[in-house]
Structure 1
Amino acid sequence: MPKVKNLRFARRALTPPSFTVAAASASILIAAPSAHAQAPLNYFLHAAGPAAYPTRTLGWIFTAICVVVCVIVSALLIGALRRRRDPASPGEIGATGEGMRWIWIGVGVSGPVLAGMLIFALFTLQQVATPLQSPAITVTVTAYDWWWKVSYSDPHEPAQRFETANEIHIPVGEPIRIVLKSADVIHTFWVPRLAGKTQAIPGQANEQWIQADSPGVYRGQCSQFCGAQHAHMAFEVVAQSRADYNNWSEQQARRISANVAASVVAGNKIFLDRCAGCHAVRGTDASGALAPDLTHLNSRRMIAAGTLRNTAENQLDWIAHAQLIKPDARMPSINLNREDVTNLRAFLSTLD
């Protein structure tokens, strides 16, 4: 019996179709533990930017009011259940007498509270509508089933325009204008620690702004149910110093350099034959526009919209088993022989 080098490949080859979803889920949990450990979505309780602080305050106040209301209603309900009607005077069923008095008390208390909540919510919306200073950078984010295209453009330097996927880099302490679009259905752009939610709607451009007060990686997520892989449509916002951001953007704007190594040339041909219909790599003849631009693939932390860590093994795993890892994604599973895998790995390793 031949030796199996990749145990995950072997498990998938022997997995019956009925267990496909379970196997894929297990693979995702094993392959990407850091996605949840490093930037969990439960951080929405902790703001990290001026567009998120007012929203966090609003959320805590509304939560406190809801808890108080639940406690009062529960106490009244328990009191009503414990109180017994006098059998000698059953009376009429209806909101009369003492019952109406309680209704008026409830309306008198809840009315001003609800009005106050509405006013506070409108005030919060006004606070987060516009940053204190004009954004110096505009990023266009287009939502697809199920990934995010991120486009950077400089009106003064057209050559600096570039695209990446599922990863937004921003300089610390500066407001960033986000233009949101959708290529298919309604999605929602949400970075819990940096700002509230904004819908990405087909045929319409919506806007919001984000700002990070400290360097770090902030997890984002589509929070609108948009299809089978909605839960695996994540992205990351990487906040860094202005100098680091400038270096990153300059590197991203470059095309890849030609490499004459035989394996790289062979891998490039495989990529053009099997992948270029959807993916683009600037500096080659690959110019697909339906899937992520892979020009600087290896500079990203994650692949498959936050599903897998970006390693050479996971790249090939994703290519060969995309429909097992992310069922119903637009990425097909591609069968490659051992030589093709070796050559394609060599080509992908040049995408820095």
Structure 2
Amino acid sequence: MKRLLPLLLLAGCSGPQTPLDAWGPQADRIARLSTLLFTGGGVILTVVVVAITLALWAPASWRKRMGNIRFVIGMGIVFPAVTLTALLAHSLGVSRALVTFGGEEPMRIEIVGRQYWWEMRYLDSGAVTANELRLPRGREVELTLTSADVIHSVWIPNLHGKLDMIPGKANVLRLRADRVGELRGQCTEFCGEQHTLMAFPVVVHEPSEFEEWLARQAAPVPAPTTPEQQAGMRVFGAAGCGACHAVRGTEWQARIAPDLSRVGSRLTLAAGALPNNLGNLAGWIAAPQDIKPGNHMPAFARSLSGEEILALSTWLDSLR
């Protein structure tokens, strides 16, 4: 058990959702500040414990020296005042650096928090996705954060700190990802029953690969190529799915629920609640309240047959 404890502590220093594993300059500043504060706090705690130990068990001559008025003023007033003032000044400098933007023209993305999912709008291209953020490696990105209902808060620990999403107000977060891979974002402001199931993958691509992905997202969806996909598209229209969802290049352009234009290419369903595959997609359509109670998606298990749900899922899964 003693050997496992250091491993458990080190497990929090890396991974797809830890602020100590910095993937960009903003997160690196936060991680360095955290290390400084942890180290400084550890040193001060050690000094205090040593002082208490000496006061209780040291020889009388030592205790007499520690009771000297200069020692008390120096260690009890001057030392903490100087130390805390220096840490405050450094922390304010880091905070200023986090909101001081460089001269590079950023890529602009708007993220809208909703109960209980995320809408991502790539403003420069017109592409709209949901519950997944894709970024190019090495490029400055400006995230405009707002909410359509209640207060949410977005946090991508490996890239930046938390920032609230407030209805009627737009907050701006600048970040840059310097590594290729997959991270995880999370809502960190309690927003209702399914707050804990409101996450999203963050995928960082090489710039050329990202541009290819973005072009696909902005283009109309391909026409169904198999009889089952064609049947699924008809079910989508007949069941009224287009009253809430948009599918680019079709007559369905609603903005009430997540955009499904390229839903088959996404890593998760229902804002991180499920891995995205054909079986989970069919299960979500049939009984979403069993998976994520309190969300606004109606169940179709009674209004659609199993064959219709499978056809609909097959068509949606083909949208990549």
TM-score range, shorter chain: 0.7 to 0.9
Cα offset, 1:103, TM superposition = 7.3
Match of 2:94 in 1: 124
1:280 aligns with 2:250: no
Deviation, 1:65, is 2.2
Q: Deviations over 1:182-207 (max 9, x none)?
A: 11122111111111221111110000
* Alignment partners' CA distance in 2, 1:350 and 1:289: 21
| Secondary structure class of the residue paired with 1:188 | strand
Offset, 1:148: 1.1
Task: Give the equivalent residue in structure 1 for 2:265.
Answer: 299
- Larger mean Cα displacement after TM superposition, 295-304 or 227-236: 227-236
1:54 aligns with 2:24: no
Is 1:66 matched up with 2:41? yes
Which stretch shows the higher mean deviation, 229-238 or 52-61?
229-238
Q: Is the 8 A contact 1:167 1:235 kept in 2?
A: yes
Deviation at 1:289, TM superposition (A): 1.2
Other structure's SS at 1:45 match: coil
The aligned residue for residue 15 of structure 1 is none
8 Å CA contact retained: 1:39, 1:217 = no
**Which stretch has the larger CA shift, 222-231 or 304-313?**
222-231
Q: Is 2:280 the counterpart of 1:334? A: no
Confirm or deny: 8 A CA contact 1:188 1:198 kept in the other structure: yes
Gap change, CA 1:251 and 1:68, over 3 Å in 2: same
| Offset from partner CA, 1:258-290 (integer Å, 9 cap, x none) | 337543343223223242222111222322212
Q: 1:236, CA displacement in angstroms?
A: 2.0
Instruction: Give the C-alpha shift of residue 112 in structure 1.
Output: 1.5
Task: Give the Cα separation in 1 of the matches to 2:241 and 2:85.
Answer: 56
Equivalent residue number for residue 153 of structure 1: 123
Contact kept in structure 1, 2:139 and 2:177, CA below 8 Å: yes
1:228 matches 2:193: yes
The alignment status of 1:346 with 2:311, answered yes or no, reads: no
Aligned residue identity for 2:214:
S
Q: Distance in 1 between matches of 2:87 and 2:178?
A: 28
Residue 221 of structure 2 corresponds to residue 246 of structure 1 = no
Are 1:318 and 2:284 matched, yes or no? yes
TM-score by length of 2: 0.83
The answer to whether the aligner puts 1:211 opposite 2:176 as a matched pair is yes
Instruction: Tell me if 1:110 matches 2:75.
Output: no
- Residue range with higher mean Cα deviation, 254-263 or 278-287: 254-263
* Range 282-291 or range 97-106, more displaced: 97-106
2:167 to 198, 202, 208: 202
Q: Deviations over 1:74-110 (max 9, x none)?
A: 5556677779xxxxxxxxxxxxx98998477423221
Conserved in 1, the CA contact under 8 Å of 2:278 and 2:314? no
Moved >6 Å (runs of 4+): 78-83, 97-101
- Alignment counterpart, residue 174 of structure 1, candidates 139, 148, 152: 139
State the partner residue of 1:12.
none
Contact 1:259 1:265 in 2 (8 A): yes
Q: Which amino acid aligns with 1:162?
A: A
Aligned CA RMSD, in angstroms, stands at 2.6
- The alignment of Structure 1 onto Structure 2 pairs a total of residues equal to 296
Cα distance in 2 between the residues matched to 1:75 and 1:323: 57
Q: Give 1:337 deviation, angstroms.
A: 2.0
CA distance in 2, matches of 1:292, 1:104: 61
Change (3 A) 1:46 1:175: same
| Shift in alpha-carbon separation, 1:260–1:52, aligned structure 2, 3 A | closer
Gaps of 5+ in 2: 1-13, 59-66
